[in-house]
Chain A
Amino acid sequence: MTSHAVLVVIGKAIIGGTFVVLFALLGQVLYPKRFSGLFSAAPSIAVAGLIITVVDKGDHEATLGAIGMMFGAVGFVVFALCVRALLVRYNAVVASSLACIAWAVVAIGGYLVILR
């Protein structure tokens, strides 16, 4: 990894973390919970990643990133549905951890099946 690539990764980390906190705070001030929950699925990492990608590599790379992102978003819907079902039996930590497996299967599996 070149020093330029390391700088890009650091930039994405700082902006990604900042956007996550900002959207989380936005969700905190809004109610009821069902509405504020919308911001738990805000495009925080996506906006940060896409902005740095555009600055670093241009529009085309961001377009490619958006294609992959749609698979991740479908996985996110399945993740949240699984959490809803798992919360009946498990606590939030266990439910979220198990649902991450569903996200990976749907997002990565769907990508590999459709685009490979």
Chain B
Amino acid sequence: MTKRNEPFVGVSFGAVRAVPRGDLVIRFVFGAGISVIAAIISYVFGARFGGIFLAFPAILPATLTLIEKEESKRKAEDDDIGAILGAAALIVFGGLVWWLIPIIGAPGAIAVAVFGWLSAAVLFYAVLRVVSSRRSPQVES
């Protein structure tokens, strides 16, 4: 359901100062840990199988847990809806890297794929907003 007056996107730089250092440490350790697991699996079983773990949900569990603890379960659910769209865009990212490396080389392919991921994710979000605003009446925030 789309709330009345809810912007398409907004930026609040002050929110960075509100993030506890401990939360960032947890995310760093989790990200580093998953990277180590992916690297070891690639080393043992090969790059193709190890690649599966490049798309392990590294940020989401910690993010949802922190949002639920510090804000509300409803906001955690909203964040998860965004993650569904971002994950769908991750398929686009992988496809672009695979397709473009033989054509333009890895550095260019990875850069284009990051832009492609962002574009696809924002497009999916825009479609969701249009669909949800048509399906349900707008409510006061």
Contact = CB atoms under 8 A, between A and B. Distances in A.
A21 B27 contact: yes
Contact of A29 (B16, B24, B27): B16
Most chain-B CB neighbours within 10 Å: which of A29, A36, A43, A76? A43
Interface size on B, as a range, is 35 or more
21 contacts: A19-B31, A20-B31, A23-B59, A31-B12, A36-B82, A37-B80, A40-B59, A42-B117, A43-B117, A44-B59, A63-B102, A68-B50, A69-B51, A69-B97, A70-B91, A72-B56, A73-B87, A73-B94, A77-B90, A79-B57, A80-B80
Given A13-B36, A100-B57, A37 B94 contact: no
Using C-beta atoms within 8 Å of the partner chain, give the interface range for chain A: 35 or more
A53 to B, nearest CB: 7
Given A66-B98, A68-B50, A37 B35 contact: no
Interface string B41-63: 01100111111111111111111
A67 interface: yes
Given A19-B31, A92-B65, A73 B84 contact: no
Given A19-B31, A31-B11, A68-B48, 16 more contacts: A1-B43, A9-B36, A15-B35, A17-B28, A20-B59, A24-B62, A34-B125, A35-B8, A35-B9, A37-B81, A46-B55, A54-B106, A72-B94, A73-B55, A74-B91, A96-B60
